[in-house]
Amino acid sequence: MTRVYVYSRFNRFWHWLQAVLVTLLLVTGLEVHYPGMDLFGFARAVEVHRMAAWSFTILIVFAIFWHIVTGAWHQYVPTRRFLPEMVGYYLSGIFRGKKKPVAKTPESKLNPLQRIVYTGLKILIIPVLVTTGFLYLFHNELAGFGLGWLSLGVIAAVHMFAALLMLAFMIAHIYLVTTGKHPLDSIKAMISGWEDLDE
């Protein structure tokens, strides 16, 4: 095992801020859709949701810029190389103590399965969430752009479905983060930037 600096400051800042904002959006969004929940109160939940949505949008713009400028975008390019092995690892090998078929390096942090999931998240789920969120937010103004025919109910349903996919991703992500040699290793790495990697 070698201690390696894997996650840059911006990488960690972006990751944790995104986690906080997505959690806020999920909690306040559920409260807006299910008035029986009463954590913030409806009006405050709407206000916090709107603020978190704008913050998340700004963060996305900065993260895209950072990924392009640093070349980190290549980490997400999907590949089929070792994909069956990674699927097999997550389905059974992980429970039998098998070693990961693809080792993490600072230049290649994501395995083939993660690349596909993260790419889907970045080009499908997040764009749908942002687009439907803004359609929802500016629904009253849509008629002026010839989009008055868009149903608020349909927009809300698509937005909620994408939010549930994001929630499923977060649950899987949190679970998989704890499957290393020690349950908190990956979390510590995302705090300090340093991780013990196989040579």
CA dist., res. 59 & res. 14, Å (int):
7
pLDDT tens-digit readout, 146-179: 777 888 899 999 999 999 999 999 999 999 899 8
- Integer CA distances (angstroms), 2 to 11, 23, 92, 106, 134, in order: 21, 33, 27, 12, 45
CA dist., res. 129 & res. 180, Å (int):
31
Rounded percentage of the chain residues whose pLDDT exceeds 90: 67
Helices 9-33 and 152-177, axial angle in degrees (round to 10): 130
- Integer CA distances (angstroms), 53 to 32, 43, 160, in order: 14, 15, 14
Over residues 48-66, mean pLDDT = 96
Which residue do the tokens 């929630």 mark?
167
pLDDT over threshold 80, residue 112: yes
**E-assigned strands of the chain?**
2-5, 194-197
CA dist., res. 193 & res. 190, Å (int):
5
pTM for this predicted structure? 0.89
pLDDT tens-digit readout, 116-155: 999 999 999 999 999 999 999 988 887 777 777 888 899 9
Mean pLDDT, rounded, of the chain: 91
What residues does 197 pair with on adjacent strands?
2
CA dist., res. 8 & res. 175, Å (int):
23
CA dist., res. 137 & res. 50, Å (int):
8
CA dist., res. 149 & res. 165, Å (int):
26
